[in-house]
Structure 1
Amino acid sequence: MKSFALAALTILSAASAAPLETRQTSTEFDVTGFNAGCVPHSSLCYFNLNAAVSPSKSVVCSASALSYEVIPDLAPTACNDSSVSFSFTHVEGGADLEINWGYDAGRNLTGTHFIADSEIVWTNTQIPTGTVQAYDGPADFVIGDLQAIAVL
């Protein structure tokens, strides 16, 4: 009887030591269709992207912001699945596009893609007041080096 209890205790201890992962996570975010820019003759700018944040989860992220001609910073904004958000922040030499996925209670994965100043261009619509900024870099890219963040 003591042998059985000891064996059961050993099995339970080993099982409890193994971490339980409730969702399959990814080591990168695959972004497709990214575009951002401002609408000529308007104070409206837009951001759009699709992101595969895991092998089984893809989201659509879209937002608009008020700004005249210049792509503005965008505070964290929820995608069509509120567990994923994205933001756009101007930094020295360009801008950071950040994606954040709250994949489990208290656990987030965050990744950042740097957009160089050379990828943000001024467009000319042949009308003097129609010059606005637009993103002119690759529409599809991978965000690697994801950071796991525990949220308390």
Structure 2
Amino acid sequence: MKSFAAIILTALLGSAAAAPLEPRVDAQEFDVSEFTAGCIPHGTLCTIRFKVATNQMPYATECGFSGTPLGSSSLPDTGFATCTDPSIIWSFRRVQTADATGPAPFYELALSNAGQNIAAAKFWPASAFPILQSGASFYQQYNGEQRFVIHQ
């Protein structure tokens, strides 16, 4: 006759063997460094540049965008683009509420490890991207931390 412990062990092993094994996915961290964003005063060029590493990709890959300003002086939305390592994609955009009485616009940097369908985002208030004046010209420049971690 089987002991009670043997019956329980047999039941546990049987249910574990029947359950499909799924790969373990750790929470993703995107370690962003050297983040800069801005438009050239008196010019027609805006850039966004940064490096990013993940806890599953210890080397940093470079990400960047160069393009014309939105209007005459503001950072444009980028849409999704690949970094030097194409397994990392990113986008930058200004999010503005449809209702003028709503909250002020904010900015979003979205990052994704495309191979694992993992995404994360950082949000900034509009004050992190002020419109500055240089003579008769206006331009936008990021004025926050250049290094930060975005958690999934």
CA shift for structure 1 position 69: 1.2
1:95 to 81, 84, 107: 107
1:35-114 superposed matches below 5 A: 35-57=36-58, 58-67=60-69, 68-92=72-96, 93-103=105-115, 107-114=116-123
RMSD: 2.3
Counting matched residue pairs gives 128
Cα 1:27–1:83 shift into 2, 3 Å? closer
The structure having more radius of gyration, on CA atoms, is 2
CA shift for structure 1 position 136: 0.7
Q: Residues 91-121 of structure 1, C-alpha deviation per residue, up to 9 Å, x if partnerless?
A: 1331111011113xxx311111001111011
CA shift for structure 1 position 86: 1.0
Counterpart contact for 1:25–1:54, Cα < 8 Å: no
User: Does 1:119 pair with 2:123?
Assistant: no
CA shift for structure 1 position 54: 2.5
* Percent of aligned pairs with the same amino acid: 27
Give the number of the structure whose residues are more often strand, by fraction: 1
For structure 2, the residue ranges without an aligned partner over 5 or more in a row are: 1-12, 97-104
CA distance in 2, matches of 1:14, 1:34: 48
Cα 1:128–1:99 shift into 2, 3 Å? same
TM-score, scaled relative to structure 2: 0.73
Q: Residues 26-62 of structure 1, C-alpha deviation per residue, up to 9 Å, x if partnerless?
A: 5321111111000122211000111112343431101
CA distance in 1, matches of 2:75, 2:18: 51
Match of 2:7 in 1: none
2:142 to 95, 115, 135: 135
CA distance in 2, matches of 1:70, 1:78: 22
Structure 2 letter corresponding to 1:128: A
